[in-house]
């Protein structure tokens, strides 16, 4: 009987491989420090995935170098499905251009793209004392006051940095970029009046908007966000082509390249089930994200397309990490 079973498994090895996975705990690498939106999203997802797989899914934060250190840890792991982690627009579409040859992995070839998870938008906010109430007025103000308009970001190469650079490129208005170590300090200086504006995620911007500490001018998405429907899009604000050039921001789940297809399929199914669970949907809503799941193949195409798209923005901006 054992021999017969072995023979059957030999011919249907893929099915046997998937059936036996997982047989031990999984590691979920978050390539950012603890805290913040990436951690707040990843930990509930890992817990839900653990419930579905009947194995612990242990979150490990590996921050540094714009997520490239943690991402490389994922890429260099054994391709057995037991190490997965978070990928973002920044880590997989922007970093290849910011770091160039110094990035120790290829964000398409060296990863297994398991599924997209959520999409999100940035919102342009200004200090309320700045005498502008629209993007067009901000551009006119910058052109009339060269050297006076500045925008902050979470650091060189971050998505909110490049959201600002894209505005600068399209408008041809003089604007000075001021990088910070995180979005929090940048937002603090916008509120204090030390910066003119910044782009930031909705979850941190909405409380400041509601409290009157900043004024929202536009969202980066092609359509208005259901979380702030009163805020126009960049296109509605006169920035034609902005959404097509760089509005798509996302989180996804990846593993090292070469994970066997049956395991990828199982992880894809369980991750999507976890993401669509009512309590996880509520977590996604609270963070002002939108659910965006996919097949592995669709995710790979998104990474490749966005890498090309953001490369044009990085090149136009001349952004580099020294």
194 or 3, higher pLDDT: 194
- Of 76, 86, 82, 104, the residue nearest 256 (C-alpha): 76
The domain spans of the chain are: 15-119+250-317, 122-246
**How many Cβ atoms are within 10 Å of 29's Cβ, its own excluded?**
24
Whole-prediction pTM = 0.88
Q: How far is CA 155 from CA 15, 92, 199, 228, in A?
A: 45, 16, 12, 25
Q: Do domains 15-119+250-317 and 122-246 have the same CATH topology?
A: yes
Report pLDDT for 13: 58
DSSP 256: E
- Rounded Cα distance between 84 and 106, Å, is 16
Report pLDDT for 5: 54
Q: How far is CA 246 from CA 33, 110, 291, 316, in A?
A: 25, 24, 19, 13
- Rounded Cα distance between 53 and 176, Å, is 48
> If you average pLDDT over every residue of the chain, what do you get?
91
Q: Domain spanning 122-246 has what CATH number?
A: 3.40.190.10
**What percentage of the chain reaches a pLDDT higher than 70?**
93
Q: Report cis status (omega within 30 of 0) of the bond before 197.
A: no
> Which one of 118-132, 173-187, 235-249 scores highest in mean pLDDT?
118-132
Predicted confidence band of residue 243 (pLDDT cuts 50, 70, 90): confident
Report pLDDT for 11: 46
Residues paired with residue 27 on neighbouring β-strands, in sequence order: 58, 83
Residues paired with residue 61 on neighbouring β-strands, in sequence order: 30
Report pLDDT for 9: 53
- Of 314, 36, 32, the residue nearest 163 (C-alpha): 314
Residues paired with residue 297 on neighbouring β-strands, in sequence order: none
- Rounded Cα distance between 71 and 22, Å, is 22
Report pLDDT for 283: 94
Report pLDDT for 10: 47
Report pLDDT for 15: 59
**How many Cβ atoms are within 10 Å of 94's Cβ, its own excluded?**
28
Question: What CATH fold (topology level) applies to the domain 15-119+250-317?
Answer: D-Maltodextrin-Binding Protein; domain 2 (3.40.190)
- For residue 176, report the phi and psi dihedrals to the nearest 5 degrees: -100, 130
Q: Apex CA 247: angle with CA 299 and CA 274, to 5°?
A: 40
Q: Report which secondary-structure segment, H or E, holds 76.
A: none
Report pLDDT for 18: 66
Q: What is the pLDDT of residues 93-144, one digit of tens each?
A: 999 998 999 999 999 999 999 999 999 999 999 999 999 999 999 999 999 9
37 or 11, higher pLDDT: 37
Per-residue DSSP letters for 96-142? HHHHGGGSSS-TTTTEEEEEEEEEE-EEEEE-TTSS-SSHHHHHHHH
- Rounded Cα distance between 83 and 12, Å, is 25
Predicted confidence band of residue 314 (pLDDT cuts 50, 70, 90): confident
Residue written as token pair 């498994």: 9
Specify whether the CB–CB gap between 115 and 299 falls below 8 A. Answer: yes
- Rounded Cα distance between 236 and 116, Å, is 28
DSSP 92: I
Query: Does the pLDDT of residue 8 top 60, yes or no?
Result: no
30 or 243, higher pLDDT: 30
Predicted confidence band of residue 183 (pLDDT cuts 50, 70, 90): confident
Burial code (b: 16+ CB inside 10 Å, e: under 16) for 232-260 equals: bbbbebbbeebbebbbbbbbbbbbbbebb
Q: What average pLDDT does this structure show over 278-305?
A: 96
- Rounded Cα distance between 294 and 111, Å, is 16
- Of 82, 137, 147, 158, the residue nearest 317 (C-alpha): 158
Specify whether the CB–CB gap between 257 and 84 falls below 8 A. Answer: no
Predicted confidence band of residue 155 (pLDDT cuts 50, 70, 90): confident
């Amino acid at each position: 009987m054992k021999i017969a079973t072995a023979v059957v498994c030999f011919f249907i090895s893929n099915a046997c491989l998937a059936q036996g996975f997982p047989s031990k705990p999984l590691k979920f690498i978050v390539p950012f420090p603890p805290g913040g939106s990436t951690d707040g999203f990843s930990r509930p997802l890992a817990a839900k995935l653990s419930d579905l797989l009947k194995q612990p899914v242990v979150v490990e934060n590996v921050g540094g170098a714009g997520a490239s250190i943690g991402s490389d840890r994922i890429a260099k792991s054994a391709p057995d499905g037991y190490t997965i982690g978070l990928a973002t627009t920044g880590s997989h579409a922007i970093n290849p251009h910011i770091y160039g040859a110094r990035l120790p992995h290829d964000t398409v070839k060296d990863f297994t793209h398991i599924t997209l998870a959520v999409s999100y938008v940035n919102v342009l906010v200004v200090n309320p004392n700045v005498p502008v109430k629209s993007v067009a007025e901000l551009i006119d103000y910058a052109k009339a006051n060269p050297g006076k308009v500045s925008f902050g970001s979470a650091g060189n190469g971050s998505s909110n940095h490049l959201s600002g650079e894209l505005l600068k490129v399209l408008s041809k208005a003089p604007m000075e970029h001021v990088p910070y170590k995180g979005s929090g300090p940048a937002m603090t200086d916008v509120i204090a009046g030390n910066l003119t504006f910044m782009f930031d995620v909705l979850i941190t911007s909405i409380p400041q908007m509601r409290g009157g500490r900043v004024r929202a001018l536009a969202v980066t998405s092609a359509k208005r966000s259901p979380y702030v429907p009163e805020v126009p899009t960049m296109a509605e604000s006169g920035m034609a082509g902005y959404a097509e050039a760089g509005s798509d921001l996302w989180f996804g789940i990846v593993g090292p390249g070469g994970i066997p297809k049956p395991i990828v399929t199982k992880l894809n199914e369980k991750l999507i089930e976890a993401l669509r669970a009512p309590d996880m949907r509520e977590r996604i809503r609270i963070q002002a994200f939108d659910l965006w799941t996919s097949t592995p193949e669709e995710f790979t195409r998104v990474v490749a397309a966005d890498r090309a798209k953001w490369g044009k923005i990085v090149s136009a901006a001349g952004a580099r990490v020294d």
